[in-house]
Each structure stands twice: as structure tokens, then as C-alpha cells.
Amino acid sequence: MAIIEAKRLTKIFGSDPKKAIPLLDKGWSKEKIFADTKLTVGVNQADFAIEEGQIFVIMGLSGSGKSTLVRLLNRLIEPTLGQVLFNGTDVLRMSPEQLRKFRRKNVGMVFQKFALFPHRTVLQNIEYGLEVQGIDKKKRREMAMSSLELVGLTGWENSYPDQLSGGMQQRVGLARGLANDPDVLLMDEAFSALDPLIRKDMQDELLELQSKMKKTIVFITHDLNEALRIGDQIALMKDGAIVQIGTPEEILMQPANKYVERFVEDVDLSKVLTAAHVMVKAETITMEKGPRVALQFMRDRGISSLYVVDKGMRLIGIVTAEDASNAIKNGVRLDEAIIKDAPSVQPDTLLHELFELMSNSRLPISVIDPNGRLKGVVIKGAVLAALAGSTGIGTGEQHESA
Amino acid sequence: MNLPKIPLADWIDWLETWLKAHFDPFFQIIRLVVGETVNGLDVFLNWFPPLILVLLFTAIAWFIGKWKMALFTFVGLLIIENLGLWSQTMQTLALVLTAAFISVLIGVPVGILCARSSGVQKIVTPVLDFMQTMPAFVYLLPAVTFFSLGVVPGVISSIIFAIPPTIRLTNLGIRQVPAELVEAADAFGSTPTQKLFKLQLPIAMPTIMAGINQTIMLSLSMVVIASMIGAQGVGAYVYRAVTQGNTGVGFEAGLAIVILAIILDRLTQQVIRNNKAA
């Protein structure tokens, strides 16, 4: 079951916001509604479901309503219409007391500008959420210290936020958000204010934390590369409405409309697509067959090399047409003609890591899963086609053994 | 224009009489509490031998600030003692501290209310403007009606004149707490009271202290006016010197007020700086 579900979630800013709802139903645009009523559509009927343990990225340009949307989830901004269900309970129907309990126990939040309390030490900042719950001093110190350790800042507990670098400050923000062990962590452009290198470190750390703690994370960003890097699901927003929800691959490969297409056209695909996306079916042959069969096979298909595998599809090596005909001349078995040190990569290797390998090798690169089974082969043409944005890739055709 | 004059003066006089008739017990309680506070403080300050107190103030100045401040306090207070104005200056200090204390006691909570509700702020702001611009002499008359002559009406009119900065700057300080910090406090499930005491007041503290500093300075500026209705102290010397055309005496007493003002101002300013640095 989804841990968070939003149904027709809508926020309209201005006086008498309900006035705009029938206009939204009629499909009026944000500009038209503003021109007519002076009301600003913040979030327009967002529908989505977030599964437990997922990193759900909400992405859009500034002004697209993404920061408003995340604040509707814990009611820092009061929605105009719709529902937010947390494990089936409607957050919008909660009394102030219930809402406080929900914020204290179930959702943590990390902010773009860190929002650390300048008059409190690092430890006191992390303790804040526990303190307002009334957890006793000894217990909350313990919990805060373990949260501090999680983000690798042990030893800094008595410093003040302004003594820390930006990256460290946001680690404190993250530790504060995690201190009460919430079910859901809301991260509002949490890494946007950081330097690119530190940002990448933080993304890596977040992914590592996520793999350990299995938190559900709602991550807001305007950076598509960041979204593609960390998101399990991405919701792309424009003018307050969600225009597409899907996995990173789906967003890239099957853009729902022109807007998404334009949004993703500048993506450095080599840092997003993996070997699995561009690999093609590998022509294989098993060990038992002789060099003659291999050569015949290559002639039939018009190819110059062949992958030799065992019965379990585990890769043994490559045989080229030249080596096969030499083997026939010299009367040796196929396994003596095999090149065993041919380049190979894992399916999740990013394309930009393949470039060097490809330029140094005249042979295609084989893609092997962690069990040693051959999944496919990367050829230069397919890589170039993928980087040029041509469709029809990403399916990683299945191969049959010969 | 032949419209009859609005009988505003009559209305105000009527209101004064009415209040006096119906709330007199209340005014008497205030008179008693405020009067005893000032007197108690006065007796306390004058109980010490002057030199001991000079050293005590110097030590406080040393502790809060730097040696320059301690030196100024030491020399300044010795001059006051030398001029023979010690006891009167302590009386004035008792009045000023009482007025400032009551101003803070009332002003900070009112400032908090203003910060929380724009409605309250809209009502309070014009009232504060009125209190600060109405000539302070005008407060003296009703103050005397309600509290009779002496130090109490002086304290009350000082409060009315001096309280606005504390209210304004408390309001301002809380409103200036960055919105993202308030949002963070909300996001972690703070109650409004927790938010106030754990976030807003600590962050607003330097601004609130600046308001208190202003309040102390303004109540000090009221001591001469207050002496017109019987408040004792060094202000009364100035007033008498003015009525008798005695420039020298007036200057001496005025100098004592200046010295007191500088000491109080620098001390509170230093407290603000220490607060900011922490």
C-alpha cells in the first residue's frame, strides 16, 4: 500500500480561493485564471501515490509549485482542496493536536537554506524535534548523537551552525530530520544550495542512508540530473500541475508531451543511461560446437565475432572469424581460439564510463550480470544512437543461445 | 463656519472624574505597590556607604564591559558623590529602574501579542504613536488626580512615555525571526508556546534589549518633568535651579543625570553586544 497518497491536491493563493476551483475543472490555464480572478494557482489537482521505501522526486522549474506541493503534505501550507492520505488517514482532517503529533512522529523535513537554529548548538538543533515531544534529556541526547553519527559529524556536537561549512550544515539538517526516526522524510531542494561536488557527495550519502534505513523520501529539486540520479519515481511539474510521473527511464525515453521532451533534451544522457539501456542481443555459441560451426554461423549472420558461453549463459570469451578460420587450418578446438580477456562491464555501468573502454578496444563490450551471465553486448553504433536521443532503445533485447 | 466647538475638554474632564470615582481602589493599589517599590529601592541604594556602591557599580561595569567602561563608571560616580548629589542620584536611579522594570513587565508581553496578531498590532501602533507624541506634561495632570503628588505619578507618566520602544522592538524582533526558521519549528511539531520560548524570543533578544535600552533612556529623560509633581531626586534640583534661575546648580544636577545616563546606556548596549556574540 502507498504510504502517502495525494488526491486532487490543490492550493490556490489569494482571497476567496474556492472561486478558482470550477475554473480549474474547466481546464483554464494558470495565466488565464490569474488574469481573470487575480488568484494564483500554486498546485493544480495533483494526484500521486508514494510507495514505502521509495525516493519520490518532485521536479520542476522555479515557480512550478513543487515547494508548495511538499508543504501541503505536512500542512505547512493549508491545501485549498483535495486529500493527503498518510497510511490511509486523511492529514487534512487532523486536529491541531493530531497534526502536531503527525509532524513530531511521522514526517521529518530538510530545508533548502538549512534553517538551522543559530542560537543552538549542532546537538541542540538535532534534538529540537525530540525536545518538543517531551522526550527526556538523556534519551534525546542519545538519539541525537546516533543521528549525528549517521551523517558523519561526530565531534561537532557542541559547535554552532555558523562555524560549519554549507555541506556540514546540511548534514546537521539531515540529522535533525532523521532524529525522530520518521516514516517519511521531506527534502525541499535540500542540496540545491551546495557546491556541485559537495552536492554529489550528499546525493551519494543519501542513497547510502536510504539503502540502510529504507525511509520513504520525498525529494524536491529543480535539477533534472539530480532527479534522475536519486529518484525511484519522478513527478515533473509545470504551472502547478504534474505533467508526468514515471521512473527516470520513462521520463527520458517516453516523454509524455513536448514540455517534458524539451525539459529532458539537454540531459547528459551518458550520465543517466546504463549499459543495460543500450546493449543489443549478443550472438552466442556454446563451447561444444567446433570452429567450423562458429565460422559458418558468423557467415550466415554477416558478423565478425561471436560470444562463447557455457550452458548457463556464463561468458567464456570471444571468438573472431579470423581466429576461427586459423583454428580450422591448424586443426585445434574452439576453446584455444577464444579471446578470454575481452572487455566486459556490469549492466548498471553508466555510458560515460564506457567511453574509454570502447576507445581502447576493437572488440565490442560484453555486459555481464553479477553471476557472470552474458546479458548483451554494447556496440559503438548503439551508444551513439542512444546519446543522439533516438527512441527504440532501452529495451535491452533478450538473446538466445545458438 | 458656525459649527459649535466640540466640547472635548469637558469630555476628558468628565472621564477623569468618572475613573477617579469608580476605580479609585484600583489606583490606590497601584500607588501602594509602585510607591513601595521605588521607596524600597531608594532606601536600599542609600543604605550602602556611597564608596562601596561606587566600587560595586565599577565591578559590574568591569564584569560586563571593558576597563574603559569601568573607569568611566568609577570616575563619574565619584564626581556625583563629590558634588554632593549622591543620595538624590540614587533616588532618581530608583525611579528610573522602577519605571523601566514595569515597562518591560508590560511591554514585552504586549509586544509578543502584537507580533502574533496583526489585528492587535493595528490597534496598538496608533496608541503608541499617540503616547510618544502627546507632550509628556499632559500626562502629569491626570496622573496627579489618580495617584496624588509624589513619586508614583512620576513613575506612571514615565512608563507611558517610555514604554513604546520596548513594545515596538519586541514586536519587530519577533517578526524579524526568519520565516524559514519558524517554518522549521512548525515542521517539527512545536506548539506556539514552544516556538516562542525556544526560537522567537532567543533570536529576538538583541532587538528586545535595544528596546529596553531606549526605554531606560526615555524614563531618564522624564525625571525633571516628574519632579514638577513632587518626585524627589536629582531632577528636582534641576527643576528648582530653573525656577530660581540658578545656572551653576542646574548644571551640576544636569551633569549628574548625564553621567547616570551614559553609564546606563553603555551597560545595556554592552549587554546587547554580549548577547549577540553568544
Report DSSP letters for A232-301, one per residue.
SEEEEEETTEEEEEE-HHHHHHS-SSHHHHHHHTTS-GGGT-BHHHH-BPPPEEETTS-HHHHHHHHHHH
Q: Give the model's confidence band at A384: pLDDT under 50 very low, under 70 low, under 90 confident, else very high.
A: confident
Contacts of A117 in chain B (CB under 8 A): 181, 184-185, 199, 203
Residue B7 lies in a domain: no
- How many structural domains are present in chain B? 1
Q: What is the structure's pLDDT at B277? A: 64
Give the residue from chain A lying closest to B201, CA to CA: A119
Buried b (16+ CB within 10 A) or exposed e, B165-194: bbbbbbbbbbbebeebbbbbbbbbbbeeeb
Estimate to the nearest angstrom the gap between the alpha carbon of B22 and the chain centroid. Answer: 28
Tell me whether residue B75 is in a domain.
Answer: no
pLDDT tens, residue by residue, A57-109: 999 888 889 999 999 999 999 999 999 999 999 999 999 999 999 999 999 99
Q: Which residues make Cβ contacts (< 8 Å) with residue B19, sequence separation at least 6?
A: B146
Going by the DSSP 8-state scheme, the letter that residue B23 receives in this structure is H
Chain B partners within 8 Å of A129 (Cβ): 188-189
From-to residues of CATH 3.40.50.300 in chain A: 2-106+182-267
Average pLDDT, chain B: 90
Tell me if B74 is assigned to some domain.
Answer: no
Measure A50 CA to nearest chain B CA, in Å: 20
Q: Domain A275-387, what fold?
A: CBS-domain (3.10.580)
Quick one: pLDDT band at residue A322, thresholds 50, 70, 90?
confident
Reading the block at residue A278, the C-alpha cell is 543500450
How does the average pLDDT of chain A come out, rounded? 86
In a domain, B269, yes or no: yes
Quote the CA–CA distance of A391 and A385 in Å, as a whole number: 8
Of A362 and B7, more confident: B7
Residue A276: is its pLDDT beyond 90? no
CATH number at residue B151: 1.10.3720.10
B192 lies in some domain: yes
**pLDDT higher than threshold 50 for residue B272:** yes
Q: Quote the CA–CA distance of A178 and A180 in Å, as a whole number.
A: 6
% of chain A at pLDDT higher than 90:
39
Cβ neighbours for A55, distance < 8 A, ≥ 6 positions apart: A210, A217, A219, A230, A231, A232, A233
Tell me the average pLDDT across B20-43: 89
Cα–Cα nearest to B186, from A302, A132, A247, A262: A132
CATH 3.10.580.10 domain residues, chain A:
275-387
pTM of the model: 0.76
- Domain membership of residue B184 (yes or no) is yes
Q: Is B245 on the interface with A (CB under 8 A)?
A: no
Would B70 be classed as within a structural domain?
A: no
Taking 90 as the threshold, does the pLDDT of residue A183 lie above it?
yes
Domain that holds residue B257: 13-47+83-277
Enter the ipTM: 0.78
Place of cell 576493437: A362
Q: CA of B180: which chain A residue's CA is closest? A: A115
Interface-testing mutation among B183, B186, B188, with chain A (most A C-beta atoms within 10 A): B188
Cβ neighbours of A192 in B, within 8 Å: none
CB of A113 within 8 A of CB of A85? no
pLDDT at B278: 57
**B198 part of contact set with chain A, CB < 8 Å:** yes
Domain assignment of residue B54, yes or no: no
SS3 for A216-250 is EEEEEECCHHHHHHHCCEEEEEECCEEEEEECHHH
In angstroms, the CA A182 to CA A216 distance is: 9
Q: The CATH number of A2-106+182-267 is which of 3.40.50.300, 3.40.50.10950, 3.40.50.970, 3.40.50.1000?
A: 3.40.50.300
pLDDT tens for A122-134 read 999 999 999 999 9
The predicted-structure confidence for B103-123, as pLDDT tens digits, reads as follows 999 999 999 999 999 999 999
